[in-house]
Amino acid sequence: MIVCKKCGYENPDNALYCNLCKELFHKKEKKMTIADLPPEIKSQLFDQKKKVEKGCAISSLFSDVPQKKLLTIAIIIGAIIVLFLFFFTFYK
């Protein structure tokens, strides 16, 4: 149960605010930040982050633009196929 700090009213555990005075209950959900982590894990994370950033940089160099080009080519080829299909179905 949550006892309201403002008025002392006893609210159920799942109450988001006091049922009597409508005071909001701020549940202490401390967000974990990198600063809270132990130094060993922090350095490991930073290493991983660097690897990931490097990987992203490389993959964005090698996959981003070609993927867009491939998509454009695929659309063009698809359009040509559709046009051919239309052509052959109407001019038989």
Q: How many whole angstroms from its chain centre is CA 3?
A: 36
Backbone angles phi, psi at 26, to 5 degrees: -90, 100
Residues that bind Zn ion (CB under 5 A): 4, 6-7, 9, 18, 20-21, 23
Distance of closest approach, residue 30 Cβ to Zn ion, in angstroms: 23
Residue entry with tokens 């038989």: 92
- Both structure tokens of 85: 């299909």
Nearest distance, CB of residue 28 and Zn ion, angstroms: 18
Considering the complex, state which of residue 24 and residue 83 has its C-beta at the smaller distance from Zn ion: 24
Q: Could you give the C-alpha distances from 65 to 14, 57, 60, 75, in angstroms and in order?
A: 50, 12, 8, 15
Nearest distance, CB of residue 14 and Zn ion, angstroms: 16
Would you say 10 or 36 has its CB closer to Zn ion? 10
Q: Which is nearer to Zn ion, 21 or 34 (CB)?
A: 21
